[in-house]
Each structure stands twice: as C-alpha cells, then as structure tokens.
C-alpha cells in the first residue's frame, strides 16, 4: 500500500508570494490533517479535512487555508508569505476515527 | 485544553542501555496517547498508541509505553538501545471532541553512543 505523498518536497518562495502544497493520502483514508513544524514552535496543528469538509482548525491566521477534493487529496495554500512561514509542512492521513494517523515526508518551505 | 510535556529535550544513552523518554499529559478525561519518531529530513512514524484497553502497549522496534492515569504519564521505554534508535521522539495526545487533531510535546532528541 502506497504511503502518504507530498509535493513538492522542497520549495523556496519570496515574501509576499503565495504557495500551494499538495498531499495525497493513503488509499481509503478520508481524513487529511496538516501540521506545521518549526524549531521555535514545534509541531502545530493547522487543520483537518474529512470527506471534503473542514472538521477542525488550529490557531493560524486566515492566510492559511486548505481544501480537500472528492478523491481525498488535499491542498493547503498560504497567501502573502512571511519569513516566519518557513517550516516543514506535514500532512497526515487516517480513517478519521482518531486512532492512527500516517504522516507524509513533508514539504520544506523556505521564505526569503 | 489538553497539553503534553516532555521532560528533557535531549537524552543520551550508551548502546545497550535502557531508554526512558518521559511524557506527561493534562486531560480531564482519558485521552488517546501516541509516540512518534522522526528521523532527519523525514516525516513522523507512529511507534505506538494507547486508545483503550491494556495500559501497557507495545510498539515497533522494541519500544513500549505504559499509560498511568494516576500519574498522567505515558513514558516510552526500550530495554536496550541501538544506534539506529537515534532520532527525535514526540509524544502526542488527541484533542478530545476533535478526532484527528493532535497536540504534540516539544520532542526529545535521543543520542546513542557506542
């Protein structure tokens, strides 16, 4: 069974630009969650989508948004990038019952 | 709100020695608890989890953890460390009422010396 895939793996953007990250969950998984990992703040929950609906949201500004498609693939978008948005963005998929999430390798975003 | 505290940002052990990584949580109801491992430049891999039932849970790579409600702890142990265990370890708790939202601890970097 293929694992969670994230594209791209590395990204360099300039302040003020926007970026879209993609996540393909494990086949059969209907829930996709996104996390931001930084040295200063650690691992923080961004949002969760289940069957195309946002089910949970973390404490991030509105510049961070996401969506989920009918095939469970998910995208997250960050608009008006700031230097502080530089981070590893991790996607996780699950059946949506809270018992186990499988993480992708992450997308390393660098904002200059 | 639930929270997780990992005591010790760095732990060093000799190969073959006991590994003990500490995790305490705060929750007013029995939570779901998880330990994840992260190797450099990789995502998170689930080591083990506690949801319900037996309080001593066994995971991959010889790791185990015990849920102790009275101590609000979920410490991770391994009887004999291996060089390949060197990585960062994260304890996490599920945010009850929100199924897949995980609250993570700050992580513990494990070093294993030959």
Predicted confidence (pLDDT) per residue in A44-76, tens digit: 999 999 999 999 899 999 999 999 999 999 999
- Token output for A71: 């095939």
Q: Which residues of chain A have a CB within 8 Å of the CB of B43?
A: 4, 90, 103-106
Confirm if A106 and A37 have CB atoms less than 8 A apart. Answer: yes
pLDDT reported for residue B51? 87
Cα–Cα distance between A82 and A93 in angstroms, integer? 27
Cα–Cα distance between A79 and A55 in angstroms, integer? 21
Which of B101, B107, B108 should we substitute to test contact with A (largest number of A Cβ atoms within 10 Å)?
B101
> H or E stretch including B73?
strand B73-78
Q: Which residues of chain B have a CB within 8 Å of the CB of A31?
A: 99-100
Residue A40, C-beta contacts closer than 8 angstroms, at least 6 positions apart? none
Report the candidate in B96, B58, B25, B49 with the shortest Cα–Cα distance to residue A56: B96
Question: Residue A33 CB: number of other CB atoms within 10 A?
Answer: 29
Cα–Cα distance between B108 and B86 in angstroms, integer? 10
Percent of chain B with pLDDT over 90: 75
Cα–Cα distance between A80 and A34 in angstroms, integer? 19
Band (pLDDT 50/70/90 cuts) for residue A1 is low
pLDDT reported for residue B4? 93
Band (pLDDT 50/70/90 cuts) for residue B53 is confident
The angle formed by the CA atoms of residues B34, B40 and B41, to the nearest 5 degrees, is 100
The angle formed by the CA atoms of residues B79, B81 and B84, to the nearest 5 degrees, is 140
């Amino acid at each position: 069974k293929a694992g969670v895939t994230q594209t791209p793996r590395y990204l360099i953007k300039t302040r003020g630009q926007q970026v879209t990250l993609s996540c393909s969950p494990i086949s059969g998984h209907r829930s996709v969650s996104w996390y931001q990992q930084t040295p200063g703040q650690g691992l923080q929950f961004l949002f969760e989508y289940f069957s195309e609906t946002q089910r949970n949201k973390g404490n991030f500004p509105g510049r961070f948004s996401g969506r989920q498609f009918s095939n469970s693939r998910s995208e997250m978008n960050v608009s008006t990038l700031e230097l502080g948005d530089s981070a590893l963005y991790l996607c996780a998929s699950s059946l949506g019952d809270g018992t186990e999430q499988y993480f992708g390798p992450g997308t390393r975003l660098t904002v200059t | 709100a639930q929270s997780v505290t990992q005591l010790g940002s760095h732990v060093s052990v000799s190969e073959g020695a006991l590994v003990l990584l500490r995790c305490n949580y705060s929750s007013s109801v029995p939570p779901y608890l998880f330990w994840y491992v992260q190797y450099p430049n990789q995502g998170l891999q689930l080591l083990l989890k506690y949801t319900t039932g037996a309080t001593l849970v066994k995971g991959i790579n010889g790791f185990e953890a015990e849920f102790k409600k009275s101590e609000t702890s979920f410490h991770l142990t391994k009887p004999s460390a291996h060089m390949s265990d060197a990585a960062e370890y994260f304890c996490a708790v599920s945010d009850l009422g929100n199924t897949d939202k995980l609250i993570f601890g700050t992580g513990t970097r494990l070093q294993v010396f030959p």
